[in-house]
Amino acid sequence: MSQATQMASTLSESSRIPTNASRIVLITGVSKGLGRALALELANRGHTIIGCSRDQPKLDSLRHQLSSNNHLLFNANVRSNDSVEELARVVVQNKLVPDIIVNNAAVINRNRNLWEVDVEEFDNVIDTNVKGTANLLRHFIPLMIQNKHGIIINMSSMAGRNGIIHIAPYCASKWAVEGLSKSVAKELPEGMAVVALDPGLINTDMLVSFSGSSASKYLTPERWAIKAATLILDLKASDNGASLTVKDPTELSSP
């Protein structure tokens, strides 16, 4: 029996069924950082999480933290269309078509001039941040259309709205996410929405990679998730095509 089948069987055997007030939220890149913090915050608010990552030990750790069999955590690589297709199959099998998708999985290149970034590193950024987002949209938008509703959040960045020195590949990927989101917004049927969301500056491994120790002065992912979760849950079909930002997250920095 494959890992996917085992996970699906475990989930289907669970007697805990989300209430009508609960929403099903698919988050990519849940092993750490913003994805993990958002998954925990939303789960604590009573929502059902579908999470994916390539890091099985961290998925196992998150499963223990979630402390409920409601949730589906799946080892998937968003860069692989086949892997995302398998995730979609398991989601349908378990009648867990998401109400909300957060395309969060992303990587950043090491700080250097564009001409010093090797081909493999450049491709990794584009394949994860752009193609990975497209793979999720390809397989999950049709499922949402069948349900006649759905909100999609494509995680962007201030780097998707400004040019920033030494991370040109990352900037290019996030500009692509902005353009992809606005274009897909014009293709969605009424009742659905896709938005590009800049999370702001948060103390994550990615920010440390870019700015070093100065990242420590920014909000932790756990504190950020409090405000981000509320913003995401409040999104409506009328927000379709918007480019949004989690504004002033530092206001949450005090206990």
Confidence (pLDDT) at 247: 81
Q: What's the fold here for domain 3-10+20-250?
A: Rossmann fold (3.40.50)
- pTM higher than 0.75, yes or no? yes
DSSP 154-206: EE--GGGTS--TT-HHHHHHHHHHHHHHHHHHTTSPTTEEEEEEE--SB-SHH
First to last CA, the chain: 47
Confidence (pLDDT) at 200: 86
Domain ranges of the chain: 3-10+20-250
Cα-Cα-Cα-Cα dihedral sign, residues 131, 132, 138, 144: negative
Confidence (pLDDT) at 205: 67
pLDDT in tens, the chain (255 residues): 444 444 443 443 333 333 346 999 999 999 999 999 999 999 999 999 999 999 999 999 999 999 777 899 999 999 999 999 999 999 999 999 999 999 999 999 999 999 999 999 999 999 999 999 999 999 999 999 999 999 999 999 999 999 999 999 999 999 999 999 999 999 999 999 999 999 988 866 676 676 677 767 778 899 999 999 999 999 999 999 999 999 865 554 443
Residues near 6 by beta carbon (within 8 Å), at least 6 away in sequence: none
Is 170 one of the annotated active-site residues of the chain? Answer: yes
Which among 140, 170, 175, 210 is annotated as catalytic?
A: 170
